[in-house]
């Protein structure tokens, strides 16, 4: 709920959602448009590479921004005077407020280049080459397999996109900060930063766990190192993105009421079947009772049956596994990742597993070595998923995401025209 969100609450109290001069777009009803690219979290990819929609709704945010790439000519929004982007040594004139920013290309300490500046916003907010390249490296799978001039061209396209994305983000945050100060809500700025920081911390923890890492150091060494990142760098990126996205959310909050109704959700579901196609897979956890640990197979059966009754009565299955399992699941934290039928190594359990629904616990499955008890934690079926509550939630989030993307684009284009943005150097 918004009341529990300090950032959003401050924005509403400060009146920023209805502040004059903010672009909020037209108030017409939003229709699903197959020709319009979906938002970042639902951007289509070829079917061969498309990740399937998780049953619990939209997929979590990935490390990198959307895969779309702007041509070099579109680094500066349409209608804004183009800066010189092709000559590395050129210092571009300011787009507005002439003379407000002194020409700068590098910050030097002891006559040695330390930080290369590629853009300056206003009178002091600098964008460094390293900041942009950190974002570019997070998308290296898009160009690392290419070679020669093709790879160089693709990497430059990604660089230009990420530079514009960072400038857009900083312009939006500056706009929000200025409006809060004008509304005498200076204390809100610290509250917003604290909230966004907590959100960033949570996302870092979630990503670290998903990567199977126990500490930040391990996460840096095994995952972030190849992107040239550290946890503090990633955290700052996530924090700035959270602030920007919440401000955009506040601008479209009132508009989205009634604009994304059941009819629009159903249209989106109908027009984007590929986004709602599932495969036959599940998440599960098993508990094994070894017959040789008992005087007889019957004693082992009675022991396993007692455990099954506890599970059937609602006992925590993970807790039962930790207490009673005699196999390899004892130290499991819960269900593993998604597995397809052919990926289940315990072939004797496949018929039982794929006969269960999400949340169900099996009866005892006897094998030559003992007795198994399995639980399916989540389940996805092959084919287009039914128009159920989870699908509707996913489709509604996709439509709202489109509204926010359009609002962000309008606002960013307007801020580019009003602000003093200077492009210093682009590869």
**Structure-block tokens of residue 380:** 């996805």
Confidence of residue 8 (pLDDT cuts 50, 70, 90): low
Query: Alpha-carbon distance 92 to 101, whole Å?
Result: 11
Query: Burial letters for 363-399: b for 16+ Cβ neighbours within 10 Å, e otherwise?
Result: ebbeeeebbbbbbbbebbeeeebeeeebbbebbbbbb
| Torsional sign, CA 201, 235, 182, 14 | negative
**Structure-block tokens of residue 275:** 């986004």
Q: How many CB atoms lie within 10 A of CB 153?
A: 13
| Ordered alpha helix ranges (H), 5-74 | 6-13
**Structure-block tokens of residue 28:** 């017409």
At how many degrees (to 10) do helices 317-324 and 297-312 cross? Answer: 150
Q: What is the tens place of the pLDDT at every residue in 225-253?
A: 888 888 998 999 999 999 998 888 888 77
Position 386 scores a pLDDT of 87
- Across-strand partners of 376? 284
Position 289 scores a pLDDT of 96
Query: Alpha-carbon distance 365 to 350, whole Å?
Result: 11
CA 251 to chain centre: 21
Position 12 scores a pLDDT of 55
Is the model's pLDDT at 301 over the cut of 60? yes
Query: Minimum mean pLDDT among 37-41, 188-192, 313-317, 327-331: which range?
Result: 37-41
DSSP assignment of 148-170: HHHHHHHHHHHHHHHHHHHHHHH
């Amino acid at each position: 709920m918004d009341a529990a969100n300090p950032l959003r609450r401050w924005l509403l109290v400060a009146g920023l959602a209805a502040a004059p001069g903010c672009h909020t777009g037209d108030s017409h009803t939003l229709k699903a448009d197959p020709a319009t690219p979906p938002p970042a979290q639902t951007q289509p990819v070829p079917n061969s590479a498309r990740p399937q929609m998780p049953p619990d709704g939209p997929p979590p945010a990935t490390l990198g921004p959307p895969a779309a790439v702007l041509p070099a000519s579109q680094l500066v929004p349409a209608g804004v005077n183009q800066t010189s982007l092709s000559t590395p040594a050129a210092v571009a004139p300011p787009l507005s407020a002439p003379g407000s920013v002194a020409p700068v290309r590098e910050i030097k300490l002891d006559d040695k280049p330390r930080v290369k500046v590629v853009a300056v916003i206003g009178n002091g907010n600098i964008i460094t080459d390293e900041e942009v390249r950190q974002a570019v490296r997070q998308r290296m799978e898009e160009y690392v397999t290419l070679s020669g001039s093709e790879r160089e061209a693709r990497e430059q396209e990604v660089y230009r996109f990420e530079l514009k994305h960072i400038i857009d983000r900083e312009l939006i945050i500056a706009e929000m900060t200025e409006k809060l100060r004008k509304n005498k809500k200076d204390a809100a700025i610290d509250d917003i930063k604290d909230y966004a920081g907590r959100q960033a911390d949570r996302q870092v923890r979630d990503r670290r766990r998903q990567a199977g890492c126990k500490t930040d150091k391990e996460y840096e060494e095994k995952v972030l190192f190849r992107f040239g990142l550290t946890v503090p760098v990633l955290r700052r990126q996530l924090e700035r993105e959270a602030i920007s996205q919440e401000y955009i959310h506040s601008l479209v909050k009132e508009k989205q009421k009634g604009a994304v109704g059941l009819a629009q959700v159903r249209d989106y579901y109908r027009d984007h079947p590929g986004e709602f196609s599932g495969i036959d897979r599940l998440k599960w956890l098993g508990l094994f009772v070894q017959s040789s640990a008992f005087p007889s197979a019957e004693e082992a059966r009675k022991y396993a049956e007692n455990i099954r009754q506890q599970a059937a009565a609602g006992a925590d299955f993970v807790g039962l596994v930790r207490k009673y399992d005699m196999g390899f699941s004892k130290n499991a934290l819960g269900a593993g990742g998604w597995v397809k039928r052919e990926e289940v190594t315990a072939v004797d359990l496949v018929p039982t597993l794929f006969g269960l629904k999400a949340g169900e616990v099996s009866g005892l499955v006897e094998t030559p070595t003992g007795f198994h008890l399995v639980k399916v934690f989540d389940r996805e079926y092959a084919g287009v998923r039914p128009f159920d509550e989870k699908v509707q939630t996913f489709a509604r989030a996709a439509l709202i995401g489109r509204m926010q993307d359009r609002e962000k684009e309008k606002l960013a284009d307007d801020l580019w025209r009003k602000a003093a943005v200077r492009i210093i150097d682009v590869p």
